[in-house]
Structure 1
């Protein structure tokens, strides 16, 4: 009887998913729990396994099409309707090499081994192992689930307290999960590329002398290591000769033999749903597309040769470095040729040397103005970009936002910074920028005006005036805007804020930020002036009620009052500060009072004690 494959519910509040890739095509055979297709939602990218064994007779939803939860995606014919059922026989023979009966090539015998073998590599179960359970942590606000992208330890291996155990990905962050205890990994309950809810058990860790019941399970990805007998490698020999071995009942067992015939054709390997060296997870594939990395040129460093996220990042950085080196070499060569040409021209015609030199000087400017590679392209939104888009619109819909701007003279701070920045960097190891001055003054102003450091709950009819200042700092990261939070910023001085800002920004851009560091903020700073903008009207980061936009510090002529000369025009370092606030709880007068307090603190410029001057 045909079996319908439907769109599963991939997390709370998820009502639909987009088919990004079919791993099997119509007419191909599929086994129970073998990856059938890849689906993407705003929360997770994942594989959908086949609910039954048989032949994929019809694909209902094509690639790049969206379907509601519960709708039909494909139809799989029953066992009796499969005409190509002889293919699984060689693979089954190899799987049962440790038994004295090599035969049983018939279709009915393939289903049971698939059910017996498949759970081993997926769960790495240690039987009835008892110990400490490792659960999926809450990886940020509103995150209800996470996807296991890589296990750093396997069943039977020892691990120390706080040693990284696995890598997990969500729509907000990719991070490592440390072990809560020291001991031996007894059981892995959630395999790689599968999603688990927050609080779900991921693994079990026992005492250091514990013996897991299924210790050989980690070797499952490599068939030669699976069988403990010395004869097992010989049993694999006929498997490599079988042209249809990719349809084996247990796809993770068959993957090693698939890699050999597929090597000359990387595209064929990439279309395979098994976890071999040519296969990458949807998360890694999207990252490669964003960074322009050709996956067929990479050698994976993951388990079984799998290409990991870090492999893609390293390849992108290497390519960028090589490109920069090539551009530098070309520029140096051009400069040398230009100098030689100018020298030769000057020797022949001194009077015409200047015009002659001017002509080639203009050429490089045109050569540098290359069009962006994004021009003329249409591509899918990344999950984080789609999430940012949704949350920005939601913020404008749920709160009454208004922006007030003031102009601040920060000449005294600019002079202090120029005087102290060399000693400050030598002492604290970070550059002294304008941002920590603004951060310190903001925290002090929030302490005086708690209404700007609050959150509103209309359903409960309450407003919470926070007892601490948890300052969010908007960071322009490669994958999109991320807002890490400096917890208890009010307890830090200028040097402390400088270090925390530099540390958070660096780890955010290098994707090393922890999930507990991007939630819980009570107020946010966004430094749009770092790219030259005078000011903007930033959107509030919900459920906060205020965000401060910092414009560019610009030196320009300003009328000032001199004690002796009266009003004079003098060059001053000026900046615009734009406060967007929730008018449901913050009135215009409240916003103005907050900004005036901030302006007076910055213009007074009394930071000598913080700088040791």
Structure 2
């Protein structure tokens, strides 16, 4: 019995290490040659490593998630050996030496009388013992004597060893095996896989790649066409800018949880009605945000009432039902209206009069909100607000005694995109800062 150390091969130019993402075996398992050993992930791809030998796994390099340097031992496998040694490198050197002797022995049998007439180049294919062969390499025609031709054959041969299955696969793929790096003494399926994954520039394709789906042209009609037209017109006509601010919503989330605890079987309050209530309170001091711009007439209309558009994803596309006079509704009324309009839009029962006349829009992706968004303005409005997802992070705060301390906080980024023809950057930033102060002290939402 002997030990074979399988070292992590070079699986890409510039790759220094790879992460173990899956082990296909455990210590004590029997593994066959070319069977999956582990999946290794680099910053470019995930590569499946295959065992180059048949044997019993006696050691694995680490756990899933560990980083393994290129060239270091990934697994140790106990294999059947003739000399009982545990020196795998010694076994490999002996095997290589035996194969080299076989090549030289066969090469010495080449004789000039049986050779084909002199040409610009002669190809000699040398067959080694077992299931491996050496690649055919041209021998210069200037070599005439038997000894010279034998020596030239030995020196020119690119000694490439591979099983018939690997050779057949390489031939089908059009891969020159002399270009493939081998981990060990012969080229295996894993070596060919690695070459294919990083050889796309030469026209090769990665193995086990799913066939591409057939092209599916879809005519843009109905709601989808209307959305496309509106968004294109908005980006063509409106010079957008986006401002993003981080807001601590720890207190607001605690307040929301307390209110939901006493709601019984009634639907729970989401973050959206609180944000709408805060926007309606804040926008009264920033009338340029709650406005519509008639660019053809050159007239900006600032509105006293807030008719808030609420971007809603439906099966037919993005719809924006409008909450009329949002500033006149409390948290629970807003929650009910949000639910009613959302359900109507998704069920196709929204009334036409509930889809127009908005003065400001809010768009939220909920838990998919991302770090920051750059929402597109719903023309002819001049602003759109986009809350993003809430994350928990440690922050530095100064307590009542003036001592700085660290506490866990729930943080949310809030984006606003504005029409720069109507809203200046200073106005947008001032509006968001005022909104932030109100959201971070949500008890003010219930004050008169």
> What TM-score, normalized to structure 1?
0.37
Q: 1:454 to 1:609 in 2, by over 3 A?
A: closer
Tell me the SS of whatever aligns to 2:392.
strand
Q: What corresponds to 2:216 in structure 1?
A: 378
Q: What corresponds to 1:494 in structure 2?
A: 331
Q: What corresponds to 1:154 in structure 2?
A: none
Q: What corresponds to 1:472 in structure 2?
A: 309
Q: What corresponds to 1:422 in structure 2?
A: 261
Specify which structure has the higher proportion of helix.
1
Deviation of the 1:377 alpha carbon: 4.4
Following the alignment from structure 1 to structure 2, what is the Cα–Cα distance between the partners of residues 456 and 519? 15
2:226 equivalent among 372, 379, 387: 387
Q: 1:532 to 1:451 in 2, by over 3 A?
A: closer
Deviation of the 1:455 alpha carbon: 1.5
Q: What corresponds to 2:245 in structure 1?
A: 406
How many residue pairs end up in the alignment? Answer: 240
Instruction: Report if the CA contact (8 A) 2:309-2:320 is conserved.
Output: yes
- Aligned CA RMSD, in angstroms, stands at 2.5
Following the alignment from structure 2 to structure 1, what is the Cα–Cα distance between the partners of residues 225 and 431? 33
Structure with the greater alpha carbon radius of gyration: 2
Following the alignment from structure 1 to structure 2, what is the Cα–Cα distance between the partners of residues 435 and 493? 12
Following the alignment from structure 1 to structure 2, what is the Cα–Cα distance between the partners of residues 540 and 461? 18
Q: What corresponds to 1:572 in structure 2?
A: 409
Q: 1:566 to 1:424 in 2, by over 3 A?
A: same
* Residues 338-372 of structure 1: per-residue CA shift (max 9 Å, x gap): xxxxxxxxxxxxxxxxxxxxxxxxxxxxxxxxx99
Instruction: Report if the CA contact (8 A) 1:416-1:608 is conserved.
Output: no
Q: What corresponds to 2:294 in structure 1?
A: 457
Deviation of the 1:609 alpha carbon: 4.1
Deviation of the 1:570 alpha carbon: 1.1
Deviation of the 1:529 alpha carbon: 3.7
| Deviant stretches of 4+, over 6 Å | none
Following the alignment from structure 2 to structure 1, what is the Cα–Cα distance between the partners of residues 299 and 365? 33
Instruction: Report if the CA contact (8 A) 2:306-2:359 is conserved.
Output: yes
Task: Please list, as runs of the form range in 1=range in 2, the aligned pairs for 1:75-90 lying within 5 A after superposition.
Answer: none
Following the alignment from structure 2 to structure 1, what is the Cα–Cα distance between the partners of residues 393 and 416? 23
* Residues 80-101 of structure 1: per-residue CA shift (max 9 Å, x gap): xxxxxxxxxxxxxxxxxxxxxx
* Residues 128-171 of structure 1: per-residue CA shift (max 9 Å, x gap): xxxxxxxxxxxxxxxxxxxxxxxxxxxxxxxxxxxxxxxxxxxx
Following the alignment from structure 1 to structure 2, what is the Cα–Cα distance between the partners of residues 522 and 609? 24
Tell me the SS of whatever aligns to 1:452.
coil
Q: 1:502 to 1:562 in 2, by over 3 A?
A: same
Task: Please list, as runs of the form range in 1=range in 2, the aligned pairs for 1:538-577 lying within 5 A after superposition.
Answer: 538-564=375-401, 566-577=403-414
Deviation of the 1:375 alpha carbon: 5.2
Instruction: Report if the CA contact (8 A) 2:278-2:445 is conserved.
Output: no
Structure 1: gaps (5+ residues): 1-370
Instruction: Report if the CA contact (8 A) 1:529-1:535 is conserved.
Output: no
Deviation of the 1:506 alpha carbon: 1.4
Following the alignment from structure 2 to structure 1, what is the Cα–Cα distance between the partners of residues 391 and 214? 35
Tell me the SS of whatever aligns to 2:242.
strand
2:268 is equivalent to residue 431 of structure 1: yes
Q: 1:604 to 1:515 in 2, by over 3 A?
A: same
Q: What corresponds to 1:592 in structure 2?
A: 429
